[in-house]
Each structure stands twice: as structure tokens, then as C-alpha cells.
Amino acid sequence: MVEHRRFGNLLPHIVLLIGVAIVAFPVYLAVIGSTHNDVVISNGQMPLYPGSHGIETYWKTIVSGTGKTTREPVGSMLISSLIMAVGIAVGKIAISIISAYAVVFFSFPFRMTTFWIIFVTLMLPVEVRIFPTYKIASDLHLLDSYSGLILPLIASATATLLFRQFFMTIPKELVEASKMDGAGPIRFFFDTLLPLSMTNIAALFVILFIYGWNQYLWPLLITTRDDMQTIVIGIKKIIDVKDALTEWSVAMATAVLAMLPPVAVVVLMQRLFVKGLIETEK
């Protein structure tokens, strides 16, 4: 820094520690809550350290379900969430990379029209066109199916724009050299373009995985069967703020399980995450 401070960097440390405390405390409390029994929690007597009912609660939450309600165990919801998140990430990357490839490296009729048709989809989040989209999905018999969960959410241009921007930085000479070696467009794509795009693909995957895992409104509408539900919407049914019989330990265990995969992805792949976040939003 520019000048020496007498007290070192005390202020930033204090502010950042308070920030970390605010961020971490609700998560910590959920973890603690999932290890105590419901009576202790409902009385408001939950201590700030872990209890001894953790294994029991998680077993009940994931595998056996609970007696009090007719609710499904969360295990199948975790699988639905995983399929949906990976499906959205892989699907969106796949359709985006090939359309960006076509738009940047090919000349074909209506090339710019195509680009604009895709570009405009950037404009509207699924929330504002939700019911007509629901009607179409239902007409196409996509309710309670993974394609129904995934397809409508991959209709957006963010990934296409990112790949397009990246492809445009690839020197023309590279393509010509590849052509001189006798490579056609398909070989150029697999041998040259795809390996060069790996960092971008990985960064996008991280962002899209989180986006997919955390979806709320769409899975809420399109799934009616309990075993198709994702964990993020399953949690709402466990909590009823007006009902004193809420099984808080199960609710907190479910919250922890719902947070674990995306938080792990963000923390373990931090550099890719930051790259993906800042580049897709530009």
C-alpha cells in the first residue's frame, strides 16, 4: 500500500472478519441444527455446538423418510437435482458451442439473422414467461420428465455469446494452417477448437451447474410427482412457518444437503468460478 499504517491492517481484518461471520453464521447454525433433536430446537434451547443426533437425522432425511409426514426421503431429490444441474450445464454448453462455431467460422444464408434470434433470448428470464412455457411443456408431454426440467432452461444466449467472443480471438492463421493440413470443419472443431476452449467450458460448467442446481420456480411447476422433485423445492414442503410441528432437524439437514454440492463446487473450483462469473456477465 501507499503509506505505512501504525496499526498495521487492523481495520480491514476486523471488517472482513465481521463479514465472514455474517456470511458463515446462518450456514453454521443450519449444520448445528441438523445435529439436535426437534424438541430441543422447538423449545428454543438449541446450543451453539453440535449435538449427538446427527447420524440419525441424516439417515432419516436421506434414506428412510419420516413417520410424521408422508414425505419422500431426500435421497431421490438429490438425484433429481444432480441430473437437472448436470443436464442444464452440459446441454447449454453443447448447443451453445456448436452454434457459436457456426456463426463465427461459417458463411451461410441468414447467418446474422440466426445470431440475432439467439441473442434476443438473453433478454427474458424464465420467470416472466413462466405460465405459457408451462403450457407448452405440458402440451409436449414434458411434465415430470428430465427433458421438461432441463430444456426450457437452456434456451438462453449467455454461453453462446461467451464462446462467440472467445472464438473471435482465435487467429485466422490457425484455421488456415489447419485447412492446409487437410482438416475439414469437423476435424478442426475437435482437434483445435475444443482443446483451446477447455478453460472456458470448465468455467461455464461451474456457473451453469450452480444455476441449474439452485432453480426454484420452474421445477416447482413442472414436477408433480414427489420422486421427480429437486431438493431446493422439496425443502419448502418440510418447513411450514405457521405449523408448530415442523421437523426442524430434518429441515436443516435438508438445507445442508441442498447447499453442499454447489458450495463445494464454488470453493474447490474458485478460480474457474470467478472467471466464469465475470466473463458470462460482461
Minimal distance, residue 72 CB to other proteins, in Å: 17
CB-based contact 176:105 (threshold 8 Å): no
Q: Which residue type sits at 19?
A: G
Identity of the residue, 6 or 242, whose beta carbon is nearer to other proteins in the bound complex: 242
CB-based contact 219:149 (threshold 8 Å): yes
Minimal distance, residue 113 CB to other proteins, in Å: 10
Minimal distance, residue 98 CB to other proteins, in Å: 4
DSSP state of 172: H
In the structure grid, which three cell numbers stand for residue 3, read together? 503509506
Identity of the residue, 179 or 225, whose beta carbon is nearer to other proteins in the bound complex: 179
Minimal distance, residue 65 CB to other proteins, in Å: 19
CB-based contact 100:197 (threshold 8 Å): no
Number of C-alpha atoms within 13 angstroms, CB side, residue 262?
20
Minimal distance, residue 17 CB to other proteins, in Å: 8
Q: Which residue type sits at 65?
A: G
Identity of the residue, 63 or 122, whose beta carbon is nearer to other proteins in the bound complex: 122
Identity of the residue, 23 or 63, whose beta carbon is nearer to other proteins in the bound complex: 23
Minimal distance, residue 263 CB to other proteins, in Å: 4
Identity of the residue, 53 or 105, whose beta carbon is nearer to other proteins in the bound complex: 105
Report the run of H or E that residue 112 belongs to, with start and end.
helix 111-120
Identity of the residue, 60 or 92, whose beta carbon is nearer to other proteins in the bound complex: 92
Q: Which residue type sits at 34?
A: S
Identity of the residue, 198 or 241, whose beta carbon is nearer to other proteins in the bound complex: 241
Report the run of H or E that residue 133 belongs to, with start and end.
helix 130-139
Minimal distance, residue 94 CB to other proteins, in Å: 8
The angle at the Cα of 133, spanning 205 to 91, to the nearest 5 degrees, equals: 20
> Cα–Cα distance between 205 and 199 in angstroms, integer?
10
Beta-carbon contacts of residue 63 (< 8 Å; ≥ 6 apart):
73, 75
Q: Which residue type sits at 173?
A: E
